[in-house]
Structure 1
């Protein structure tokens, strides 16, 4: 086990992002959409979303085959373009 000790001064320097980064949020949503886990928690959401998505978004499923996302989906940024472009570099 690894233990990390923080001082009160350490906690005063903690900062939070003003909003979630869209590319990792997309990754998480695609993972949950394709996952059979947690049917009580996510089942209704999955069903509703799968019925309402237009066919044009089907290629998004190819980004997360078998639940393993490519590295460019782990990039942080304030916009989708920023996240995808930064991850492609």
Structure 2
């Protein structure tokens, strides 16, 4: 094997190695992009669910306040009626 052959094989090996490195880097970049997209979708979903939860909490607070007012009104009219509510 002459030095020219050795350089030729080395050049081919370097080209194949560089191609494999490029393929791997591209795959990693694409994988990272997919995971980034998935993370963004999950964050959007979590934000929407948090917004829904906040709305539910606000509604519950209003219902509890209205319920408290109704119990107060009921007991002021006929305290005996309250005993039926707290069985």
TM-score (norm 1): 0.18
The structure that is helix-richer by fraction is 2
Q: Which has the larger radius of gyration?
A: 2
